Amino acid sequence: MKIINRIGKVLGVGLVFIASSCDSYLDVNENPNNPEDAPISGLMINSTYETAYNQYRVGDITSYYVQYLASPNPGSSGDTMEPVSYGTTWFRLYNVMTDLTIMMDKSEELGANHYTGAAQILMGLNLGMAVDLFGDIPFSESFRFETVTPKYDSDVELYAKVMDFLNQGVQNLQGATTVSMGDDDFIFQGDVDKWISFGNMLKARYMIHQKATSNYNANEVLSAIDNGFSGNADNAQVSFFEQSINPWSNAARNNANLLLDGWISEQFIEALDGTSYPDVDPRLKLMVGTTDDGEYVGTPNGAGRGNAPEQGARSTLIQGQYYTSVTSPLLIATYSEQKFIEAEAAFDVDKARAYQAYLDGIVAHMEMLEVPQAEIDAYLASPAVSMGEAAFTIDDIFKEKWVALFLHGESWNDARRFNYQYKDMTVPANLNPDLGGQFIRRLSYPDSEISRNGNNVPSVTLLDRIFWDAN
């Protein structure tokens, strides 16, 4: 996607549009200076933007669990998998789902089926993120405000709702509409075909999560993929401009200002620098920074930086790279992720397709990062990467998908399904002793939720698994 000053322009246009439009479907407030209701265009602006931010918020938590990032301070609670209260992420997920509930109601009344469909897809995504983090959560009683202590719905039931939202969303996007989306859509700028592809891609994502359950059908996953993304141009993302900075760029800037944010895990460095695997990955230099000596040196998870200074002796996120430029997009779902989903789904039913999808996923991610073609070719020429269909394993898929999902919250779902079996990945130093030497499997419920809805909050431990994490 071409990065332009989209958010600033659309917010400006949107505010004028909301205040001044004479169209009945937007003219919901008699006094625009004292708004009583939100138009669907304004809800679309907020929901697409905040959904991308929610994907970042999840990744900001889970990047330590999958050892992309490591804290420079020993025993940091997130790094060592302590029961942290992630109330802000919980609150933001529910904020977006509340707006989407209103948006669906309004757009259905208007016959604005494309807005309805987009809202349903975003609802499926935000609900799916919440369930993947917390398991059982309040949903069926959460948005009509008939009770301030809503019951908790089971994760199994809620995953069925996720799939219903995605299926209904695709269906509504394929029909006629009274109102068309446009620049109020920060993800696809009103491109309905891309929304349909996005819905199908997410269907594949949430179906592959359930691979260890009786609900799983590989052919259904592959059918969704056949109607999903066709290339990197379809990636679901929200772009930024210089006055609205990508949050990973903020993390990189914090490093430059000695605020100690976004240091790179030793595990991630060694997976790409030729230590854990035979080849040096050409993506490494495009994803993280070097030390002052021009070397890549990670920080051990849980142990901190030791005697290293606050700057210059360890690799960190640095400004100006693909993930960390001021104008870098926040990635929600990518073609490379879809290719690795395809590889996993096809592995037991069509191994030739699986192997080709695995290779295509590597290329798609490298092309997204603008790796030079000669370096792509050299990496693919390695027998450790292009091992041939017969020698190709599920482990190869998960390893390359882990690299391609750098900083993305979806990677934690994969890690749990894969039992964290990435080569040389070990539990962090100073691990939370309640985990008994095991990796974390879920988040604890936020303190705010326990204080206001404690009678309904399930009693859980960090080792309790989401239903799809059955291995």
**Which tens digit of pLDDT belongs to each residue from 144-192?**
778 899 999 999 999 999 999 999 999 999 999 999 999 999 999 999 9
Counting residues of the chain whose pLDDT is more than 90, the rounded percentage is: 87
Strands 263-264 and 69-70: antiparallel
Average pLDDT score over residue span 43-58: 98
Provide mean pLDDT across the span 195-210.
Answer: 98
Within 10 A of 314 (CB to CB), how many other CB atoms are there? Answer: 26
Residue 20 has pLDDT above 90, yes or no: no
In the structure, what pLDDT confidence band is assigned to residue 386 with cuts at 50, 70 and 90? very high
Q: Is residue 299 pLDDT above 60, yes or no? A: yes
* pLDDT value of residue 428: 97
Residue 431: predicted pLDDT? 98
Sign of CA dihedral 5, 8, 11, 12: negative
What is the structure's pLDDT at 240? Answer: 87
- Residue 183: CB atoms within 10 A of its CB come to 17
What does pLDDT average to over the chain?
A: 92
Q: Is the pLDDT of residue 250 over 90?
A: yes
pLDDT of residue 145: 79
CB 320 within 8 A of CB 229: no
Please write the tens of the pLDDT for every residue from 355-364: 999 999 999 9
pLDDT value of position 155? 98
pLDDT computed for residue 37 by the predictor: 60
Is the predicted pLDDT of residue 8 greater than 70, yes or no? no
Helix axes 247-256, 40-62, angle to 10 degrees: 40
> Would you list the DSSP string of 426-448?
-PPTT--GGGTT----SPPPPHH
Q: What percent of the chain has pLDDT over 70?
A: 92
**1 has pLDDT over 70:** no
Q: Is residue 247 very low, low, confident or very high in pLDDT (cuts 50, 70, 90)?
A: very high
Whether the pLDDT of residue 231 is over 80: the answer is yes
Q: Which residue has the higher pLDDT, 207 or 35?
A: 207
Q: Which two tokens stand for residue 436?
A: 């008994």
Q: Quick one: tokens of 352?
A: 């030739």
- Residues contacting residue 17 through CB under 8 Å, at least 6 positions apart: 26, 41, 184
pLDDT tens-digit series, residues 423-436 = 999 999 999 999 99
Query: What pLDDT, on a 0 to 100 scale, did the predictor assign at position 13?
Result: 35
